[in-house]
Amino acid sequence: MIKELKYDEQSPALLPEEIMILKRLLNHEGILKMSKGTKRNRKFHIVQGPLVDMDDYIIKYDSQHKLATLNLFFINQQWQAGVMEI
């Protein structure tokens, strides 16, 4: 679970872009659910889940571990998300 960091009541510690991405990806419990998709032309295309319409952010797909590496950096770390091929 992730809770938004704030310096004080008026000043969030995150950039507006980071807040937008977190709100898009995480559910109301602060969990990033698995997405489902298919491989097309050497790229992974998401058809269901929080990564829908974010295919361009997927830079690597590991079918053995069911992980997509995203071109998103947050707290100086690159994000990985669970994906399942259908």
Interval 49-78: pLDDT, tens:
999 999 999 999 999 999 999 988 776 788
Q: Is residue 24 part of a domain?
A: no
CA distance 56 to 44: 9
Query: C-alpha 72: how far from its chain's center?
Result: 8
pLDDT of res. 43: 86
Q: Is residue 40 part of a domain?
A: yes
Q: Is residue 64 part of a domain?
A: yes
Q: Is residue 12 part of a domain?
A: no
Q: Is residue 8 part of a domain?
A: no
Domain count along the chain = 1
Please report which confidence band the pLDDT of residue 21 belongs to, taking 50, 70 and 90 as the band edges.
confident
pTM check: above 0.95: no
Tell me: pLDDT of 1 over 50.
no
Domain holding 76, by residue range, is 33-85
Average pLDDT of 1-5?
56
